[in-house]
Amino acid sequence: MFWLILCSFLLPFILASLFRKNLFLGEPVIDPSSFLVIRLGWSGYLFYLFYLLIIILILMNLEKILRGTTGLHRQAIKYLIFGLGSILAIRFYTGSSYLLFKSYNLAHESINAGGLIVGGLLIIPSFRRMKILDIDIYLSPSFLYGSFTILIAGIYLLCVGVIVQLIGSFSIGGSIYFKVFLVFLAFIGLCILLFSDRIRVKTKQFISLHLRRPHYDYRKVWEGFTQTTASLINVKALCNAIAKFISETFEVMSVTVWLYDEAKDRLRLGGSTAFFRKEGEILKTFSSQGIKELISGIKEQDRPVDIKGKNLEWLKNLKESYPKFFESMKIRWLTPLKSGKSFIGFITLDERISKVPFSIEDFNLLKTISDQSARSLLSLQLFEEFEQVKEMEAFQTMSSFVVHDLKNLASTLSLTVMNLPIHFDNPEFRKDALEVISNSVEKIKKMCNELSLLSQKFELRPLRIDLNKLIEEALSSLNGVGALNKDLHPLPELNLDPEQIKKVITNLILNSKEATTGHEPIEIQTGQAGDWIFLLVKDYGCGMSEDFIENSLFRPFKTTKKHGMGIGLFHSKRIVEAHGGRIEVESQEGKGSTFRVMLPVKMER
């Protein structure tokens, strides 16, 4: 096959180059259709014979390629095969007619041209599907701006020429002097158009967005920004990360993020790559009125502001009033931090290290980063405010519990103290008074111990121990717990912290006891289910509602008991989870509750 293909391509070349005098015979003639016809010589006849052989070989390979493809690959190349095949089929038809009539007819070239157009139209969809036509062509900025200016000038003068021609056609002011004056006005208008700052900026923006090759790989920039800021949950850390990212992206040494505190109407230093002093020391050259003017001016801006180039009245006044501030702060650019209607602050940037001015593309990227930074900062500020509200709510809830219990203790102690002078000589009264005082002290100690659990950071000290043994030890320390039904199955030893797990057992049993009237037994069961060891504590007491289980259970200061803070279950859950386990709950109001502690057989050390 290789030699056949080589000969098919090589022999026509030899015939056309070495025997070109024998390609055609005689002089060309005009046929009845007015087309040029010339007879083929022996080398011309052989040339078209090999020409048809090449077409057949190519068509066979195209068919083989199409049959060998499936799915999306076939969809991509199908129209390419059809397009090439149609071009070759037309060529085969015209070539075979040359051999049939032993003459070359120029009329057939129009048929070849039609086939080429149809084939090209079929090939274009394949190029689009294979993305062959996705080619980015970028020209130099100087060429783009020059070409764009020439284009505008050409369009403008063309319009003027059309107007002048229309005036001449309709004999409107046909004087040559009027036409010259009109051209002069056109020239003045063109100059105004080319030197317009607004049009120049719009032109640069259009070229930067649509014609110039991007300087930045925006996907990488955005991924970098997201990775840098996504995991930060502290405003100070986020501001420092934003300042550092902008500094590295735009090659600017000094970048500072300023946050606006609306409640106090003042600026706060968020983060900086150049300043590490407090905002009071940095802003000492700036008066409070100057700060208000600066904030008021930046609020009105939607894009980065060039300190040296932007002709804004408020900025001009500030630079004249506080020249040292802008010099000492190394401010060349200001970009607002705005999210919707919320003004978060602003970012200041110094000159680039290379002294290269910011381009339209730089400004667009800086604005995008600033807008995203503003949204991130606003979300973080709202989150911190929400956390503060939650902390205040927790403090108020804790205060109400503590104050309520202390108030009851204070009332009891106050009544005892009031009666003490009257019944001091009564031994029975003194005994009861000491008992009241002792009980009150114990209750205060218990309250302190429960509250200390909230902030306690425990460290597990696991030992190889039997869970059933811990249950027996916990029960022995509880006197008068009531009726118990124990069903403790043999268990393998686990890696457990004995003291912490006993706290869990004790808390679950005491909770069950308090939930019952005292007559119903409490069931305690242990066993193994696959890779888990379970401890089940079940009571037939008051139970809990589904709403309480879903929204309040295991949360501090949420409890169904008359006397309690809801801290015990919260702490028990933390202990079990620290062992790699979990607590499962089933409960119905009026029927009782079941707490199931699940502990892994193999706990990671």
149 and 69 inside one domain = yes
pTM greater than 0.75 (yes/no): no
Residue 388 lies in a domain: no
Mean pLDDT (whole number) for 531-546: 88
Query: Who's near 510: CB < 8 A, 6+ residues apart?
Result: 478, 481, 568
- Burial of 134 by CB count in 10 Å (0-12 exposed, 13-18 middle, 19+ buried)? exposed
Mean per-residue pLDDT, 474-490: 78
**276: pLDDT confidence band, cut at 50, 70 and 90?**
low
The H or E element spanning position 527 is strand 522-529
Q: Virtual CA dihedral for 268, 270, 275, 279, nearest 10 degrees?
A: 10
| 151-165, 318-332, 513-527, 529-543: which is most confident | 529-543
- On the question of pLDDT at 146 being above 60, the answer is no
Which domain CATH number covers 509?
3.30.565.10
The per-residue pLDDT for range 73-96, each reduced to its tens digit, is 777 788 888 888 888 888 888 888
Q: Which helix (H) or strand (E) covers residue 61, if one does?
A: helix 42-67
Please report, for residues 57, 177, 222, 252, 423, the alpha-carbon distance to residue 368 in angstroms, rounded to integers and kept in the order given. 57, 54, 10, 17, 81
Highest mean pLDDT: which range of 141-155, 383-397, 480-494: 480-494
Q: Are the beta carbons of 152 and 193 closer than 8 angstroms? A: yes
HEC string of 394-424 equals HHHHHHHHHHHHHHHHHHHHHHHHHHHHHHC
Residue pointed to by tokens 């609306």? 262
366 and 478 in a single domain? The answer is: no
Q: Is residue 407 part of a domain?
A: no
Q: Are residues 271 and 184 in the same domain?
A: no
Name which of 275, 279, 309, 313 is nearest 296 in CA terms: 313
Is 103 inside any structural domain?
A: yes
pLDDT of residue 242: 92
C-alpha distances (whole Å) from 439 to each of 145, 443, 547 are 90, 6, 35
pLDDT digits (tens, 9 = 90+) for 548-579: 887 778 776 666 665 555 667 877 888 888 88
The whole-number average pLDDT for the span 172-179 is 56
Would 402 be classed as within a structural domain?
no
- Per-residue model confidence (pLDDT) at position 605: 47
Is the pLDDT at 174 greater than 60? The verdict is no
pLDDT at residue number 157:
64
Mean local confidence (pLDDT), 171-196: 60
Residues 77 and 104 placed together within one structural domain of the fold? yes
Determine if residue 592 is left, alpha or beta; phi over 0 gives left, psi from -120 to 50 gives alpha, anything else beta. left
pLDDT at 280 over 60: no
Environment class of residue 80 by beta-carbon count within 10 Å: exposed (0-12), middle (13-18) or buried (19+)? Answer: buried
Which of 381, 399, 425 finishes a domain? 381
Q: Pick from 336, 361, 381: which residue ends a domain?
A: 381
- Residue 45's pLDDT is 82
More confident residue, 81 or 191: 81
**Residue pLDDT, tens place only, 16-29:** 677 777 777 777 77
Looking at the structure, tell me whether residues 186 and 224 fall in a common domain.
Answer: no
Per-residue confidence at 596, pLDDT binned at 50, 70, 90? Answer: very high
Pairing relation of β-strands 484-488 and 522-529?
A: parallel
Is the torsion defined by CA of 104, 106, 108, 112 positive or negative?
Answer: positive
Tell me how far CA of residue 133 lies from CA of 73, 117, 128, 136, 269, in angstroms: 17, 18, 6, 9, 51
- Cβ–Cβ under 8 Å, residues 77 and 126: yes
Spatial separation of the C-alpha atoms in residues 545 and 187, rounded to whole Å: 86
For residue 529, give the H/E element and its range. strand 522-529
- Average pLDDT of the chain, as a whole number: 77
489 shares its domain with 508: yes
Query: Do 151 and 244 belong to one domain?
Result: no
Does residue 183 carry a pLDDT above 70?
A: no
- Judged by phi (left if over 0) then psi (alpha if -120 to 50, else beta), residue 326 lies in alpha
Q: Which of 381, 414, 446 is the last residue of a domain?
A: 381
**528 has pLDDT over 60:** yes
Closest CA to 216 of 388, 102, 365, 318: 365
295 and 188: one domain?
A: no
Q: In this structure, is residue 273 part of a structural domain?
A: yes
Looking at residue 399, what is its pLDDT?
Answer: 61
Region 334-339: mean pLDDT is 89
Torsions phi, psi of 212, nearest 5? -85, 150
Rg of the chain on CA atoms, in Å? 45
Q: What is the pLDDT of residue 30?
A: 77
**pLDDT tens-digit readout, 297-309:** 888 888 888 887 6
C-beta separation of 537 from 594 below 8 A: yes
Of 139 and 590, the one with more pLDDT: 590
Say whether pLDDT at 200 is over 70: no
Answer yes or no: do 155 and 189 share one domain: yes
Domain assignment present for residue 447? The answer is no
Backbone dihedral angles phi then psi of residue 383, each to the nearest 5 degrees: -65, -45
Is 417 inside any structural domain?
no
The number of CA neighbours under 13 Å toward the Cβ of 495 is 13
- Give the bridge partners for 463, in sequence order: 496
Residue 305 Rama label (left phi>0; alpha psi -120 to 50; beta): beta
pLDDT higher than 60, residue 224? yes
**Hey, how many other C-beta atoms are within 10 angstroms of the C-beta on 15?**
23
> In this structure, are residues 583 and 595 in contact, taking their beta carbons and an 8 Å threshold?
yes
Tell me the backbone φ, ψ of residue 574, rounded to 5 degrees: -60, -40
Give the whole-angstrom CA distance, residue 352 versus residue 355. Answer: 5
Q: Note whether 24 and 123 are same-domain residues.
A: yes
Residues 180 and 116 in one domain: yes
pLDDT tens digit sequence for 452-478: 655 556 677 888 889 899 888 888 777
pLDDT at 339: 86
Q: How far are the Cα atoms of 404, 511, 557 from residue 400, in angstroms, in the given order?
A: 6, 22, 10
Residue ranges of the alpha helices (H) in 130-278? 141-169, 176-194, 197-210, 218-229, 235-250
Asked if 133 and 3 sit in the same domain, the reply is: yes
Beta strand pairing status for 342-349 and 255-261?
A: antiparallel
Q: Would you say how long the chain is, in residues?
A: 605
CB 3 within 8 A of CB 21: no
* 136 confidence band (pLDDT: 50, 70, 90): low
Q: Give the residue among 436, 433, 435, 405 at the shortest CA–CA distance from 420.
A: 433
Task: Please give the tally of structural domains in the chain.
Answer: 3
Q: What percent of the chain has pLDDT over 90?
A: 5
Binned at pLDDT 50, 70 and 90, residue 230 comes out as confident
Q: Give the per-residue pLDDT at 534.
A: 92
Domain that holds residue 234: 218-381
396: its two tokens: 């108020």
Residue 395 included in any domain: no
